[in-house]
Structure 1
């Protein structure tokens, strides 16, 4: 005799099947497309007057439904993404679309490391195009980029870092003049002279023309008329970028006429150490007594070990 096996069905499964086949089954809730003005006000943290002031400005679609003024949510969100004056209490950032294509004055100031007042001056002076949104002036990113590429004085932090690296491989016109022992005017004449101009490679940093060290060296090797200034023996020092110290030594040499009063590539006088650290000579002695760095006796003269002192000075600046 064959037995009929009846599968057990859970109550939940039966109920689910009934609901699925029923004409009264639940429909998924529709997405909310309208909200009341009070709901909008609560969302923005506005009181009654502020809520209806916004409604009257027609920033977003409003409609009377069932005798009550309502705000279209999609229209409201579009407005919210294109303004920065009002903020939702839930912390959602406003102006997302606005920020995609424009900068605020404070954003430009921060990028360039300048004040907001200077940004306004640049807008007026250079004719940078702006737009006004909710009484706030903003600069379209395209307009900013066009202006930025036409000048080199104002730089972003990223470009300032690049410029700093580039400065290490170049020299200014005054530095070149000091190295050759001639005037700045003569430098410009050299650069204009077709006999020498082909040697030089120039770059512009912060609206100042600079000569690459490599091309300057080619100039020195490729002609016999101009040589490094024989009045001093600090050419190597100058070429290693410490122009301020080289210039300090030149001035002292011109004043005293005695080379022994200056240091050299390995040692510094106490005056030179004070000059580099921007402190008094007495402070240099104090630091030395505290063991910050050491000095050596060269004949009857004491000198500070330059590499040791500069390393300590860099460490001190870092702290």
Structure 2
């Protein structure tokens, strides 16, 4: 009996739904609201009556008198709200979303370039960068800023400064190159601009300064015998190195990496240095010390070979081979 009642109720609900859907008197969905009163607009922005009508009379958005009362077009108001930053809704909805899509404020540019607002204003004036006035404040269109930014290299964003630092680590300035070779800056420019060695060098510009890549500087060192690294730049242990070939190898490696820790010292060799002295590959040296032909010291992931024992072992090996 209960089951029959449930089935009848289901049939009734389906019939009622069908009648409602086909009835000419069914309720239509309400149309989207297009207009609001000045009071509603003022309450939305937290404005008093005088400020509400002052804003209306500035003609920032569309208004119309409907049935004797001033009304604000909602779509026009929202478009104005998205393109200004002075007024804020009490709901916390952020203003100026569209404005921020196509322009920067002066403080935003100052933060990007890590400058003061005053320096940014001077740059805008000096370089005739396009500006627009929004609510009495200057803003710079993003395309105008990018055009200026791409045309210079002195001022850099935080991200580009980080990339520049990586490039600087892989390059030399002309004064640095002069110190490396122990010659004057004038002689360096003669090398770089002369036909004899010009083909060796590659250049990059960082912060409006021309720099030589360390890789091309190394090619220059390896490809001629007229100029060499100045031993006056050596750190203490490198200056004491008696093996001239090893000392030059370490100087060149230091020039490439800028990291002294990648070199050995008077008592220990890196695997690369041992391979250089033995005239074999680094992997061969690794095979040798894995077989314990000579003692090594491991510091974390680094391997250092005891130099005295390695040289003695290498001398015996060469003698046995008749080298």
TM-score > 0.5 by shorter chain: yes
1:12 Cα deviation after fit: 4.3
Which residue is equivalent to 1:8?
A: 8
Which residue is equivalent to 2:163?
A: 162
Give the Cα–Cα distance (whole angstroms) in 1 for the partners of residues 23 and 233 of structure 2: 103
Which residue is equivalent to 2:78?
A: 77
1:231 Cα deviation after fit: 3.7
Give the Cα–Cα distance (whole angstroms) in 2 for the partners of residues 159 and 51 of structure 1: 45
1:225 Cα deviation after fit: 2.2
Which residue is equivalent to 1:61?
A: 62
1:154 Cα deviation after fit: 1.4
Q: CA offsets per residue over residues 271-315 of structure 1, 9 Å max, x none?
A: xxxxxxxxxxxxxxxxxxxxxxxxxxxxxxxxxxxx99xxxxxxx
Give the Cα–Cα distance (whole angstroms) in 2 for the partners of residues 231 and 72 of structure 1: 78
1:9 Cα deviation after fit: 4.7
SS at match of 1:198: helix
Q: CA offsets per residue over residues 221-274 of structure 1, 9 Å max, x none?
A: 22222221244534455554269xxxxxxxxxxxxxxxxxxxx9759xxxxxxx
Which residue is equivalent to 2:172?
A: 171
1:51 Cα deviation after fit: 0.9
Matches within 5 A, 1:259-270: 266=265
Which residue is equivalent to 2:36?
A: 35
Which residue is equivalent to 1:241?
A: 258
SS at match of 1:182: coil
Which residue is equivalent to 2:304?
A: none
- Number of aligned residue pairs: 243
Which ranges of structure 1 fall in alignment gaps of 5 or more residues?
1-6, 244-263, 268-306, 309-319
Aligned-residue CA RMSD in angstroms? 2.5
Which residue is equivalent to 1:279?
A: none
TM-score, normalized by length of structure 2?
A: 0.69
Give the Cα–Cα distance (whole angstroms) in 1 for the partners of residues 183 and 225 of structure 2: 15
Give the Cα–Cα distance (whole angstroms) in 2 for the partners of residues 186 and 241 of structure 1: 23
Does residue 1:138 correspond to 2:139, yes or no? yes
Shift in CA distance, 238/21, structure 1 to aligned 2, threshold 3 Å? closer
Which ranges of structure 2 fall in alignment gaps of 5 or more residues?
1-6, 236-250, 267-298, 301-323
Shift in CA distance, 231/75, structure 1 to aligned 2, threshold 3 Å? closer
Q: Tell me, yes or no, if the aligned pair for 2:63 and 2:71 is still in contact at 8 Å.
A: yes
Shift in CA distance, 198/69, structure 1 to aligned 2, threshold 3 Å? same
